[in-house]
Amino acid sequence: MADAPAPAAPPVPTTYRERLAQFRILEEKRFELIEELLEKLEKTEAKLAQTELDLNSEQNVRRTLQAEVVEAKERESAMAQRQARRPFALVLIDADADGFLFQDKYLTRKAQGGEALADELLIRTREHLRPQYEDADSIDILVRVYANLEGMANYLVRQDKVRNLGALRAFSTGFCGRIANFDFVDIGVGKEGSSGRKVRENLSFYSSSTHLRHVIVACSPADLPASLLSNLPLEKVTLVESIPLPDSLTTLPLKVTKLGTIFPPPPSPKSPRPRGRNGAQLQLMQQEDAEGGATWLVINPERSKSQGGALRRRNASEDENSSLSISFGPDNTVSVDSGRRRRLIG
C-alpha cells in the first residue's frame, strides 16, 4: 500500500500585509494561551487556599482530639490510682431473715462471741475473694449487719440461748468493736422486712461506687427481686444461700456461696420435730457452757410457719410464757423454766 501524500505546506506570505496579518493571528493566540493559563492559575490558587484552610481546620481538630485523649488517659489513670488506693468489698447481712441467724456458738458467748464472729467473717470473706482478685488481701472489708435486736433477743430468750437483751447487746458490741469497718445496726421494732429494705438500699447505693470490688449479700430471696439484681453489675455480686434460691435468681449470672461456719444449716424437711399433746413441739437441745454443758427439753405450742418466721422480727412479749423448758445440768440438777419463773430441783 502506497504511503499517503504529505500535506501541502501553507503558502508563504509574499507581501508585508499578509505577513502582518499572520503576526496578528499569532499574537491573538498567544494572548488566548496566556488568558487560559492565568485562569487555571487563579483556580489552582483558590483550591490551594481552601485546602490550606481545611488542613488548618483538621490540624486544630486533631490537636483538640489529642488533648482530649491525653486528658481522658490522665483521668483514667487518676481514677485507677484512686480505686487502687482504697478498694473495698462489702458484706450485707439481714440477720432477721430465715436461715441467717448466726450460729449459737457466737450468739451465746456475749462479747466474745461477737468478736469470734467478726474474725470468722473476715477470714471467710477473704477466702471467697482470693480466687477472683490478686490483691484480695489488701482490699478493705466492710460488713453491715441489720437486725431488730430486741425481737432477736426475745426469740433467743425463749429458746434459752441468751438470758436477756443485754447479753445480745454485748454480742453486737463485741462484733462492732473487733474490726473498725464492721457494724451491727439495730433497726429497732418496725414493720416486717425493714432489715431486708436496708440491705436492698445499701446494695443499690454501693454497687455504683467505683471503689467497690465485690459485694456479698446474705438476705431472704423475697427481699432481692430479680428486677433489682438485673440492674446491678452482677459480676460483682455473690449471694449467700441458706434456703434454696428460686429459679428467678439461679438463672441470673451471679455467684452463689454458703457460709456454713457462720450460719446454721437449714432444718431437714425429712426430720420433723416431735410433737406432744395438742400439737405442741418437743425439742431436745444440748449446748456446751463453762460448767460442763446442759440439756434442755423445750415444749413449745404449735405455730404456723409464718408465725415462726416472724418471731425474731417483732417484739412478741405476749409469747414469753408460751414455752416450758426442762434443763438437766452437769451436777444432776433439774431446772424447770416456764418463761417467767425458773425453779431448781435438787
Q: What is the pLDDT of residues 68-115, one digit of tens each?
A: 898 888 888 776 666 567 889 999 999 988 889 999 999 999 999 999
| pTM (predicted TM-score) | 0.59
Comparing CA positions, the residue from 150, 193, 144 lying closest to residue 168 is: 150
Tell me, yes or no, whether 183 and 97 share the same domain: yes
Tell me, yes or no, whether 145 and 241 share the same domain: yes
Of 257, 292, 311, the domain-final residue: 257
Tell me, yes or no, whether 73 and 90 share the same domain: no
Tell me, yes or no, whether 80 and 101 share the same domain: no
Of 205, 226, 257, the domain-final residue: 257
Tell me, yes or no, whether 80 and 99 share the same domain: no
- Split into its structural domains, the chain has a count of 3
Tell me, yes or no, whether 211 and 322 share the same domain: no
Tell me, yes or no, whether 90 and 235 share the same domain: yes
**28 domain residue, yes or no:** yes
Give me the phi and psi of 91, to 5 degrees please: -120, 120
Residue 111, C-alpha cell as written in the block: 462479747
Tell me, yes or no, whether 68 and 113 share the same domain: no
Tell me, yes or no, whether 218 and 104 share the same domain: yes
Beta carbons within 10 angstroms of residue 218's beta carbon: 23
Tell me, yes or no, whether 116 and 221 share the same domain: yes
Domain boundaries, position 319: 277-345
pLDDT per residue rounded down to tens, the chain (346 residues): 556 666 666 666 678 888 888 888 888 888 888 888 888 998 898 899 899 888 988 888 888 998 889 888 888 877 666 656 788 999 999 998 888 999 999 999 999 999 999 999 999 999 999 999 998 898 999 999 999 999 999 999 999 999 999 999 999 999 999 999 999 999 887 655 588 899 999 998 998 888 899 999 999 888 888 888 888 888 889 999 888 888 888 888 888 998 989 998 876 655 444 444 344 444 444 444 444 444 444 455 544 433 444 444 444 444 444 455 555 555 555 556 554 444 444 4
Tell me, yes or no, whether 103 and 185 share the same domain: yes
201 CB-near residues (< 8 Å, 6+ apart): none
* pLDDT tens per residue across span 238-281: 999 888 888 888 888 888 998 989 998 876 655 444 444 344 44
pLDDT at 323: 52
Tell me, yes or no, whether 92 and 78 share the same domain: no
